[in-house]
Structure 1
Amino acid sequence: MNVLSEWTALACKELGIDPAAVDRDLILELTKEVAHGVARPAAPLTAYLLGLAQGSGTAPEDAVERITMLARNWARATTETLTDD
């Protein structure tokens, strides 16, 4: 077992989460997109926000898709937000 798998298993156990419910690769891909498209410190914050969204009932796949698109279009999104009246 590699360190990431071991950490995931132990963190899930500590938090009472079924490890089978965690799509590690999906989360890592999301945080990679955010780190490269927005800023590195935004990646862990995004993972936390994803958890909050899932806790409030948003399907993780939907949240990941929406946030990935936002990260990929970050320059345009910030320009539009800053120029809205």
Structure 2
Amino acid sequence: MNLHDWIDELCDVLDLEAEVDEGLLNDLSRIATDNVERSAGPVTAYLLGFAAGSREANPESVEKLASMAQGLAEGWDRPAGFRDPLDVDQPVPDDSGVDHTGDALDD
């Protein structure tokens, strides 16, 4: 199965009527991965799709949105692996054994 077949099947499963330019998404994802960080690739593709869907964008509009995202990724001034010295590395406590059912979130 190739990527185009996967996209067709996934659109069927998700009940989407969509034309997907897998080359555009692959290129944008690679650029974001190379210039930002590894996980930026799929997140960028997702957000592009979200933006396109929320605007009911036609293919030309999707290309314009992708171009804007690409420009941001190519000009990203914190390349992959960059560690911001102001970031504080504090371990996140593991509370996976705690039952949070009924907990209220503080505003």
1:63 alignment partner in structure 2? 65
Q: When the two structures are superposed, what TM-score results if normalisation uses the length of structure 1? A: 0.77
Displaced runs of 4+ in structure 1, greater than 6 A?
none
| Pairing partner for 1:29 from 27, 30, 34 | 27
Q: Among all aligned residue pairs of Structure 1 and Structure 2, give the percentage whose two residues are the same amino acid.
A: 35
1:83 alignment partner in structure 2? none
How many residues in Structure 1 have an aligned counterpart in Structure 2? 74
Greater CA radius of gyration, 1 or 2? Answer: 2
Are the aligned partners of 2:35 and 2:76 in contact in 1 as well (CA < 8 Å)? yes
1:52 alignment partner in structure 2? 50
1:32-79 Cα deviation digits (max 9, x unpaired):
000001111011111111111101215211110000011100017xxx
Relative to its length, the structure with more helix (as a share) is: 1
1:43 alignment partner in structure 2? 41
| One-letter amino acid matched to 1:30 | L
